[in-house]
Structure 1
């Protein structure tokens, strides 16, 4: 992971925006109204709070800016020099120093005016002191406008810098412009650097990542270098010089032997010798590119001698043993030798890092804790290392060039993708290879299931189907021959009874199914068919083998007693009506009731006015009033009972949180 991430630096506002942000926050988050009758002590506290709050905001925001930007003296030397190259170290430190001084001045102004506000003797004097403090703070920040604008430009540029880890495994690609550095990086990493046929296409450092030996590597593409003094190099070239000077990486110096880059081999060798001090204590490889245009063997003797000398210098600079300074060849256009160059550079860097760790002081702290266990011999038998026969045969075939035939090779031979159909059964491990392509390759007790299938099964099935068809035709013919004309009158009556009963059962079933078995019991007057009679009950019980005499007698006795009670009540009513007449044949005087009882219907008033013992009410008026009160109490419950899920109910038409008004500035109480 990179040690530095410049993308998290917050935006630096301009001086005007800075002032608006802080003053607006002060206005929103502090009280804004001084009421009449306040004591002078409370007025002082009011304005002191505003001054302190504003100074605290300035201090926090300036501190955040100073902490976000990296300090030149605290970062890695590579980033320190890169900051110096891109932004000018002195200008950068001066801008941060001015913000630091502005923060101190604002704190000093707030401290002084808070001290003066403690002795303010009137509302006007306290208010003017507050305005003076705010004005001086804003004046200090207005003077920091150029520094804030410069830091914002620096932040935007730093956010676009690549995330380079100076301590991880790194390959550094350098050389003249247009020699193939970016093309090599695009081949070995997942990066996509712009490649064009002209010089200085790459104007900054680009980083790509790759995997080698299960490790993560970063590859840095540097801008092209020209052979000229250091003080004449521009910003683009100085980025490459900075990376070569500070990064612990394997350096790949790429040479264009076709000279299509516009520089001869001698000029490229001169640049190599000019920057040779930057290669000290680093693995160095000289790689010749564009061998597809000009082969290495086709070069002139003097050019070949120059390249061999560069390779020898590279071997000596990297501390490699003698004989390992050979030139590496590649062609990024045809991708020839690219992976070999990558592997050679990675191996040299790993060996160099291991050697440096062995020469350091930390290895001594670990060496005494390392122990190599050697097993004690258990007998006198020799057990030398041995390679399994299968592995040895595979290695022999590989060395002989006998490539293992893969499924893809078979596919290409038989028409390619979309034409070739893979044989999925050829790898089946069965007892007999003949079973691989059976229709049912299932094995039970060592036998194929298909072996138990009868060969005449289809013929037998057809015979069985013909027999079933013949039986069905005979049954249909027999049914047609049986007609109602041949039945006796008793049989016809039985048939009609069966059909009627079957129809009634079907009708009852359909009726119950239509109402989901949720039909209420019909009263006697709604029973048009008179099914609930004693005769039907008697016949039904006798069909079940039960004696229905007692049940029929009980039902008839209840019916007769009910009829007798009705006749008795009607006789008593007629007798009462005649007794109500006076002796002279005149009707009695009407009884006087209250207005409430007269407003009710005649039947209702008579029923309620009837004497009822044990009610606790003395007269009919109280009884009528009690009935009305009960009805009124039941009305609300009746409404609630009729309310459903779809009924809309608004418990509060004007909730307080929506109709209590907007809070003022500096207030948190909405009431």
Structure 2
């Protein structure tokens, strides 16, 4: 799976086109008509909207550029060094930094001019401020035009880079120029790399894919490398060095033993020894190419000695614990005659696969897998051969199982019972019930006039009533404590406070008892107080009870009577008496209220059982319900099903001639 796809980076427009895109979008997406007769607030909003919209478009466009270009510190080191080799990361970071600075400057300009537009007093002044704001933003974009052009060139070049996955199975081909690397690449993959009989035909990395043991391998063809110091190597050679340094791959070092590439075996061996530090802990295969021109056995003693030294160095790159055999380290092939090509590919894939398995075995993840499988390796106890033996009973059981009919599917049952439209699949036959005869029973939906779902929890109503009862008791106690206040409460003694607490508790219990009776009464009629034969709630009885507790009942009795007659006294006030009430020489229009009325609950307050999470959600629901009937009410519909189309032009209003002075009635 490729992790980096540079082809998806958005095109970076030039500075002039960038400005034209944003300004034309502002012209098309914002209002264009304003008159000096408008209110000044409307004129300000008109021009503030243009400035704000332009700034937002600049900000989004520049942010897209910054976010889509890769950050060299966050991506894989292979891609980070490759981009540094190709583009110089200092210039790259400087260009992106200028884009980021321009984005911040545009935001600051917009903020400053919006503050000025907020206090613009005329249309002309607001328009001048708008022009100045948009002009300064465009000037900032013009200044970063070179950076935008540079990033566009980088984007085009990055889109042409091959899609290399640094973490997958990889085979890397390297060596001197014109030694047959691209020819081998074309043989083992479907890649079509240009092959020419001169050096540096391949100027960049090319990627192909090959299969081995049902696994996909990534084959990378690198440009040729010359034997010289690192600081003298050009960009083409550094691409190969970067790939060798950062990719965990099997390395194929190609060696032209015929000398037709223009370089001797001694020069190629010197290159091998100069870059052998890049081969450490990587499977290395030395491939002697062009054996059709010069066989390996026909080399001179000096050249053979150099080849053997390279082979010994290749053996040192095998990690500790690996297979120390010499097989697969030095191979011969000919890309012209296809001799040994597949052997080289298979050897590289096999060595890479062994190394990857070995690394996984050394990792901590292997502990999670070891308990899932066990490979038994029996040790022979003598020299006797014991071939595999399958018992006859097992063979007979297999034969019986093969002879049995296969399990009937629903399609087979359908064909046997008349086909589609006649046979319907029973969805109940797989039900898990205590008795199989119950599977086809009809599920009752109503039982004794009630829904079956109501019987899932028979105690739910009692529990709800308990909760409501407890909540009501607490609310009533709190209300009783707030409502029942006596003047001079702070001056009461300890005994009087205890008596007062008993009175309040008694009152709360009476209120709760009354609520309970009222709730459970259902259809019982409410008996007025004058027909209360028990005479439970009278001022005389209250006075007797207070006197028995040692409290003077006169204040409480007078307070109850004043509350019962407070509204009549308020209405009986004459206008003259109301006019005489003055506070500091001013007439008071406040009404006399002897007791507080109960306040209605606000519409947005959530009551228990309504199903809303909070008041904000309820407000939103109320607004949606009102909006849904707005058009219906505007059209004078009786309801949602009203489809009556009234007469749009009543005849009595639009027929006949009008005389002078008759226009006003319309």
> Considering the TM-score relative to the shorter chain, is it more than 0.5?
yes
TM-score (norm. length: structure 2): 0.56
What is the match of residue 335 of structure 2? 332
Matched, 1:111 2:114: no
1:22 corresponds in structure 2 to 22
Secondary structure at 1:128 match in 2: helix
**In the alignment, what sits opposite 1:372?**
374
Q: Structure 1 unaligned segments of length 5 or more: list them.
A: 377-381, 389-671
In the superposition, relative to structure 1, how do residues 321 and 216 fare at CA in structure 2: closer, same or farther (>3 Å)?
Answer: closer
Deviation track 1:558-581 (CA, whole Å, cap 9, x = no partner) reads: xxxxxxxxxxxxxxxxxxxxxxxx
Deviation at 1:127, TM superposition (A): 0.7
Contact 1:251 1:285 in 2 (8 A): yes
Correspondence 1:197-276 to 2 at 5 A: 197-276=197-276
Residue aligning to 2:135: 135
Call closer, same or farther: CA 1:375–1:86 in 2, change over 3 Å. Answer: closer
Rounded Cα–Cα distance in structure 1 between residues aligned with 2:148 and 2:247 = 32
Deviates more, 1:18-27 or 1:309-318: 309-318
- Residue 51 of structure 2 is aligned to residue 48 of structure 1: no
Which string of whole-angstrom CA distances, capped at 9 and with x for unpartnered residues, describes residues 214-272 of structure 1?
01111000000000000000000000000000001000000000010011101100000
Distance, in Å, in 1 between the alignment partners of 2:20 and 2:75 is 34
Query: What residue ranges of structure 2 are gaps of 5+ in the alignment?
Result: 379-383, 391-666
**Aligned residue runs from structure 1 range 510-525, under 5 A:** none
CA contact (8 A) 1:175 1:255 kept: yes
1:39 counterpart residue number: 39
Partner residue in 2 for 1:172: 172
The offset of 1:375, in angstroms, is 13
Deviation at 1:374, TM superposition (A): 7.2
8 A Cα contact 2:14 2:149, kept in partner: yes
Which residue of the partner structure matches residue 477 of structure 2? none
Q: Counterparts of 1:215 and 1:321 in 2: how far apart (Å)?
A: 22
Q: 1:10 to 1:366 in 2, by over 3 A?
A: same
- Matches of 2:214 and 2:127 in 1, distance apart? 70
Stretches of 4+ moved more than 6 A in 1? 373-376
Query: C-alpha displacement at 1:362, in angstroms?
Result: 2.2
Distance (Å, rounded) in 2 between the aligned partners of 1:350 and 1:318: 13
Report Cα offsets for 1:351-401 as digits up to 9, x if no partner: 00011111122223333x32438799xxxxx9944399xxxxxxxxxxxxx
SS of the aligned residue for 1:331 comes to: coil
Report the Cα offset of residue 322 of structure 1.
Answer: 3.4
Answer yes or no: is 1:84 the counterpart of 2:84. yes
**Separation of aligned partners in 1, 2:52 and 2:260:** 69
Instruction: Tell whether 2:10 aligns with 1:10.
Output: yes
Partner of 1:145: 145
Secondary structure of the structure 1 residue equivalent to 2:317: helix
Alpha-carbon offset, residue 315 of structure 1? 1.6
2:363 is aligned, of 345, 360, 364, to 360
SS in 1 for 2:196: coil
Residues 1:193 and 2:193 are matched in the alignment: yes
Paired residues for 1:430-441 under 5 Å: none
Write the distance in 1 (CA, Å) between the matches of 2:162 and 2:82: 12
- Counterpart CA distance in 2 for 1:364 and 1:314 is 32
SS in structure 2 at match of 1:318: coil
Aligned to 2:160: 160
Give the structure 2 partner of residue 487 of structure 1.
Answer: none
Deviations 1:144-184 (A, max 9, x none): 01000000000110110000000011100000000000000
CA distance in 1, matches of 2:219, 2:373: 37
**Deviation for aligned residue 1:70:** 0.7
Alpha-carbon separation, structure 1, partners of 2:195 and 2:340: 20
* Partner residue, 1:444: none
* CA drift at 1:281: 1.1
Q: Matches of 2:3 and 2:374 in 1, distance apart?
A: 36
After superposition, where does 1:61-72 map in structure 2 within 5 Å? 61-72=61-72
Match of 1:343 among 326, 342, 346: 346
Specify whether residues 372 and 239 from structure 1 end up closer, same or farther in structure 2 by C-alpha distance, changes over 3 A only.
same
TM-superposed CA distance for 1:9, in Å, is: 1.0
**2: distance between equivalents of 1:156 and 1:245?**
26
How many Å separate the matches in 2 of 1:372 and 1:166?
32
Q: CA deviation at 1:293?
A: 0.4
RMSD: 1.9
In structure 2, relative to structure 1, the CA distance for the partners of 1:197 and 1:373 (3 Å cut) is: closer
Give the distance between the partners of 2:64 and 2:294, measured in 1 at CA.
58
Between the aligned partners of 2:141 and 2:195, the Cα distance in structure 1 is 46
Please name the residue that 2:574 is paired with.
none
Q: CA deviation at 1:58?
A: 0.3
Maintained 8 Å contact 1:171/1:252:
yes
Q: Which moved more, 1:241-250 or 1:30-39?
A: 30-39
Equivalent-residue separation in structure 2 for 1:6 and 1:284 (angstroms): 31
* 1:44 counterpart SS class: helix
Tell me the equivalent position of 1:597. Answer: none
Query: Following superposition of structure 1 onto structure 2, how do residues 249-648 of structure 1 map, counting pairs within 5 Å?
Result: 249-319=249-319, 320-324=322-326, 326-367=329-370, 369-372=371-374, 384-386=386-388
SS in 2 for 1:219: strand
What does residue 428 of structure 2 align with? none
Q: Are the structure 2 counterparts of residues 374 and 196 from structure 1 closer, same or farther at C-alpha, using a change threshold of 3 Å?
A: closer
Q: In 2, distance between residues paired with 1:372 and 1:69?
A: 48
Q: Distance in 2 between matches of 1:280 and 1:317?
A: 5
Distance 1:65 1:347 in 2: 43
Q: 1:560 is matched with which residue?
A: none
Q: Secondary structure at the match of 1:251?
A: strand
1:128 & 1:191 partners in 2: Cα distance?
61
Determine the C-alpha separation between the residues in 2 that align with 1:128 and 1:324.
83
**Aligned twin of 1:455:** none
> 1:311, CA displacement in angstroms?
1.1
Residues 188 and 342, structure 2, Cα contact 8 Å, conserved in 1: yes
Distance 1:31 1:128 in 2: 17
How far apart are the structure 1 equivalents of 2:154 and 2:247? 23
Residues 318, 324 of structure 2: 8 Å contact kept: no
Is the Cα–Cα contact under 8 Å of residues 169 and 217 in structure 1 kept in the other structure? yes
Cα deviation digits, residues 624-655 of structure 1 (max 9, x gap):
xxxxxxxxxxxxxxxxxxxxxxxxxxxxxxxx
CA contact (8 A) 1:315 1:321 kept: no
Distance 1:190 1:45, change over 3 A: same
Inter-CA distance 279–373: structure 2 relative to 1 (3 Å threshold): closer
Distance 1:94 1:262, change over 3 A: same
SS at match of 2:219: strand
TM-score after normalising by structure 1: 0.56
Instruction: Supply the distance in 1 between the matched residues of 2:293 and 2:389 (Cα, whole angstroms).
Output: 45
CA distance in structure 2 between the aligned counterparts of 1:107 and 1:247, rounded to whole angstroms: 42
Q: How many Å separate the matches in 2 of 1:250 and 1:300?
A: 29
